[in-house]
Structure 1
Amino acid sequence: MPPKIRSRKGFTLVELLVVIAIIGVLVGLLLPAVQAAREAARRMSCSNNFKQIGLAIHNYHAAYNQMPQQGSGTGLAIGNPYETPGANEYRLSFLVGITPFIEQQAIWEQISNPYQTTGGTFQSMGPLPSLSLAEYNPNPYLPWITDIAGYRCPSDPGRGLPSMGRTNYAACMGDANHTTIEGETYRLNSSALNNAARLTNVGIAARGAFVYRKKMAFRDILDGLSNTIMCGEILTDLGDRDIRTTPANAGGRTTAQWSAGGILRCRAPGFIDPERPRFWTATQAVEASSEERRGSKWMCAIVLYSGFHTMLPPNTETCFHGNRHQEYIASTSSHHQGGTHVLMGDGAIKFITDSIDAGNSNSPQVKTPDQAGVLAAGSESPFGLWGSLGTRANKETISSEF
């Protein structure tokens, strides 16, 4: 009688290893595609957020015949706004004004009807970011430390402390950084002559769609809404010495910052780590205090928090020149591959690559002729297509796609 042929059950060890190896290869091939698909979805979501901000600005303009002001608010007080009840020294960003137009009516009601904190101190300006909530203010003004989903790009991993109230969307302040003077007509301790000189300089140098503490309207954008950047995307600081989010100190407030090569002062030896060019060196005197963090206060109109310039191209360094209210060199930035989103004046969303023509980075800036070597009023932007897109009324139109 022939022997019974027994059927083999299961797999041999070799077969299992082969199957596992095949699965591992397939996962290795598919994982980059999955990650790319996820980033594409995040990028689309970011673009949609920006589109909503553009619609909000247009709806605001339709309601009030002006754009939301970058540097608005209450109180004409001299000194520290934290010490003056109800005063915020006109530092509120354009993002505050559009909250009712992005379905944030509840937070707008709190802002427009400010309250006293439990400690009895009127918190209209809000707390300073720090390492813990209790350290910087045991009674914080909650609207200012609230993260609004519509102001956040999903590709930005920054969440919570050491910053609170983050934003990834900022106002275009033009192609010169001497444009956000803290004085102007709102500081009563300056002489009339000093105020007049400051206002003259702002009128010459502030060439962006937004001008600090000045009411702006679409009629002021003479180059055309489709030719002018209104807002741009920025990263928020993670506390990791990223050159795009933690400003390096260029050595104090001097006239050299507006002259030839002034915007490149933070590229001197010892600033950027040559082996890791996206980070400052460990020995560099980085302004890493809790106050100096890019995108850390959506409610504040100072350039570091909610503004940018079109001088250096996207994803370049943020450089601090001495005055925390005006002298930052800060461009757009993002975690998207190869560039950043911008919002044009007509509401269109464009993706600007890091390689956009940014002209001569060694050029001086436009400024009042109170020093040698600066560019005169009305000069063509020296910062190429990027600079031209950032100016609103310089007779620069764009004839092709970018």
Structure 2
Amino acid sequence: MSPGTSIESPNGKRVHENRWRHLRHGLTLIELLTVIAVLSVLGALLLPAVSEAREAARRMQCSGKMRQMGVALHAYHGAHSRFPPGHLADLKSGGDGRSWGWGTLLLPFIEQRSLADQLRSVNRSFDEVASDESRSALLQTNIDLYQCPSDTGDSLSHPYRSILVPITVMPESSSFADGPSSLTTPDHAVKPPPPPPPPPEPPPVEPQIIYVAIRLGKSNYVGSIGSRWKTERSDWDVNDFRGNGVFGRNSDLTIAEIFDGMSNTLAIGERCMRNYSAVWAGSNSWQGCGFVDNQMMLGTAFYPINDSPVRQNIDCDGQGSANFSSYHGGGANFLLADGAVRYLTEHIDIRVFQNLAQRDDGEKVGDF
């Protein structure tokens, strides 16, 4: 009987008989290798697509956060009849810093009223809070709204964005050996010579103040100081620190002063950790260079988007540390003064980019 022969069962039904029905055939080596090759090709095709889809979702989340900041900016303007300053510097205390940043001033308008009340930025200076051990940790608060989903990792700022906090310490006092103890001698014994006079009292130990660098809460969003920038610190004047954008040192811009139009002026942009990111709280200018304060919370269109960082001039020039950047790939999100969010590519014409960053240059921007 052949393997595929059909026979008739006793009850009259035909049954297919297969002699090898109990034998199981596996894949040959060639078939197995073919399957593996096909799966590898499919994986190579699908993984980039999945990665791009995830990054697109993170970019959308980032733009959503920027829209919330736009609402907060206009709520602040409604309450104070002006936009917040880029950083509120106390110039009387010396230097360019000791300043609360715009991120702190927006706290009441981004559902962070409790943190704002604890900082009391209206009544307390940045240095006062930073020097207060009971409150300085507040400056390291992780605020989700200020962090881009694509910039994963530490919630604290880059070490380059640290501030110096004064700490009072007591130096070790010099130890003085005790003088010889008085001995009781019998009357018939020869009495020893009188002990030497006690050593002089040590001078009082004065407390010493040392400065310790601490990192602040990270922010991936910086206010636009405009496009005016100078690479030599000595060339800067008051107007340069004020900038020609929406934000600057002690700025108090109103909507009416954005002459180029709200929809044609950048307000806030991104900066990722590759370019040392930023902070939301403020700065105390501990490096003695005015550029630092601007870089801590503000960005300039003087440099292109995603410009490579230059480590040796982090303190002063700011190339690669004062620009705008992101991990979205090929560009960054920007909030316009009217509250709209646009994604600008790193290949945008630098002149168009700089015109967008300026609030009153009077030039037509065109398509962007």
TM-score range, shorter chain: 0.5 to 0.7
Instruction: Name the residue aligned to 1:263.
Output: none
Partner residue, 1:211: 248
Matches within 5 A, 1:306-385: 306-318=297-309, 324=315, 327-329=317-319, 330-358=322-350, 384-385=351-352
Q: Pick the aligned partner of 1:96 from 88, 96, 104.
A: 104
What is the CA-CA distance between 1:176 and the residue it aligns to?
1.5
Alignment partner for residue 142 of structure 1, among 137, 149, 153?
A: 137
- Residue 126 of structure 1 corresponds to 130
- Alignment equivalent of 1:297, drawn from 273, 276, 279: 279
Identity of aligned residues (%): 31
Which of 101, 105, 113 aligns to 2:113? It is: 105
Q: 5 Å matches for 1:172-321?
A: 172-178=224-230, 198-199=237-238, 206-237=243-274, 245=275, 294-300=276-282, 302-318=293-309
Once residues 115 and 37 of structure 1 are traced to their aligned partners in structure 2, the CA distance between those partners, rounded to angstroms, is: 46
Deviation, 1:112, is 1.8
- 2:354 counterpart letter in structure 1: G
Aligned 8 A contact 1:170 1:307 in 2: yes
Counterpart CA distance in 2 for 1:106 and 1:66 is 23
Cα distance change of structure 1 residues 224 and 298 upon mapping to structure 2, 3 Å threshold: same
Give yes or no for contact 1:151–1:168 (8 Å, CA) kept in 2. Answer: yes
Q: Displacement of 1:140 after TM fit?
A: 6.7
Q: 1:152 aligns with which of 147, 151, 166?
A: 147
Which structure 2 residue ranges, 5 or more long, are not aligned? 4-18, 160-214, 284-292
- Structure 2 match to 1:54: 70
Name the CA distance, whole Å, in 2 between partners of 1:219 and 1:154: 34
Greater Cα radius of gyration, structure 1 or 2 = 2
Q: Does 1:169 align with 2:212?
A: no
User: How far off its partner does 1:357 sit?
Assistant: 1.0
1:362 aligned partner: none
TM-score, structure 1 as length reference? 0.62
Task: Compute the displacement of 1:170 (Å).
Answer: 0.3
Which structure is higher in strand share?
A: 2
Deviations, residues 9-40 of structure 1 (Å, cap 9, x unaligned)? 36234344433332222222111110010000
- State the secondary structure of the residue aligned to 1:342: strand
Paired residue type of 1:342: F
Q: Secondary structure at the residue paired with 1:155?
A: coil
Change (3 A) 1:295 1:126: farther
Deviations 1:160-208 (A, max 9, x none): 46554111100111112259x99xxxxxxxxxxxxxx9436656xx211
Aligned residue pair count? 282
> Hey, what's the Cα distance between the residues in 2 that align with 1:341 and 1:164?
23
One-letter amino acid of the counterpart of residue 66, structure 1 = R
Shift of 1:401: 2.5
The 3 A distance-change label for structure 1 pair 357 and 20 is: same
Q: Measure, in 1, the Cα distance between the counterparts of 2:46 and 2:144.
A: 30
Q: Which amino acid aligns with 2:143?
A: I
* Equivalent AA in structure 2 for residue 401 of structure 1: D
Provide TM-score, normalisation by structure 2. Answer: 0.67
Contact 1:166 1:296 in 2 (8 A): yes
Counterpart amino acid of residue 354 in structure 1: E
List structure 1 segments (4+ residues) > 6 angstroms apart after TM superposition: 113-116, 137-140, 320-323
Q: Is the 8 A contact 2:221 2:278 kept in 1?
A: no
For the aligned residues, what is the CA RMSD?
3.5
CA separation in 2, counterparts of 1:394 and 1:224? 11
Shift, 1:146, TM fit = 1.4
**Greater Cα shift, 155-164 or 336-345:** 155-164
**Counterpart in the other structure of 1:372:** none
- Residue 100 to residue 10, structure 1, CA distance change in 2 (3 Å): farther
Conservation of the 8 A alpha-carbon contact between 1:68 and 1:94: yes
Equivalent residues of 2:89, 2:250 under 8 A apart:
no
**Paired residue for 2:52?**
36
Q: 1:113 to 1:233 in 2, by over 3 A?
A: closer
State the distance in 2 between where 1:123 and 1:8 align: 83
Counterparts of 1:114 and 1:173, CA distance in 2: 23
Unaligned runs of 5+ in 1: 80-87, 117-121, 128-136, 183-196, 238-244, 246-293, 359-383
CA distance in structure 1 between the partners assigned to 2:362 and 2:153 by the alignment = 39
Distance (whole Å) between structure 1 residues aligned to residue 263 and residue 123 of structure 2: 41
Q: CA deviation at 1:393?
A: 1.0
Q: Is the 8 A contact 1:166 1:236 kept in 2?
A: no
